[in-house]
Amino acid sequence: MNEQYKLINEQLKSLIEDIDYDISMLSNASALLYSSLDRLNWAGFYIMKDGLLKLGPFQGQVACIKIPVGKGVCGTAVKLDATQRVEDVHQFPGHIACDSRSNSEIVIPIHVKGEIYGVLDIDSPELCRFLPEDQEGLEEFVRIMEKHLEA
C-alpha cells in the first residue's frame, strides 16, 4: 500500500476510535477522504435501508437520494458484493449520472455482521482516476471502518 493511504488509514483509526455513532464516523471518514485525495468531486456513503441504497454522509456535489440494488455502479457493487473500479462511467451499463461531471468512480461494499451495510463511493471528474493502488488503500480503509461499525 502506498504511503498516502497508510497515512489516511492511520488518521481514520484515530478519528473513529471510541466513536459509537455511525453517522459521526461516516461523516468524518468522508471528510478525511475528500480533503486528502485530489481530483475528486464526491466522496461518501450510501447505506442499505429498506432494500435500497440511501444517501448517507458525504462531501462534494449533490447526490442521488436512493439507488436500487443492481442499478448504476453503487447498486452493481452491492449486487455483486465486489468493488467496482470504473475508468469511464459513461461506458458503464446503467450508469446513474447524479453529477454529470463525474467521469470515473470507485465503489466498495461495506459489511457489518456478514451483511452489506452500504458502500463507500468516490467520484472523480477525471477519466481513469482510480488505480489499483487506490483500490487497495480504499479497501483497507473500508476494512478499518467495518471493525468499528460492528462494535
Q: What is the pLDDT of residues 119-142, one digit of tens each?
A: 999 999 999 999 999 999 999 999
Write the pLDDT tens digit of every residue in 54-104: 999 999 999 999 999 999 999 999 999 999 999 999 999 877 777 778 999
Tell me, yes or no, if the pTM score tops 0.75. yes
H/E run at residue 52: strand 52-60
C-alpha cell at 18: 471510541
Place of cell 477522504: 33
Question: How far apart (Å, rounded) are the C-alpha atoms in residues 40 and 57?
Answer: 16
Question: How far apart (Å, rounded) are the C-alpha atoms in residues 83 and 101?
Answer: 22
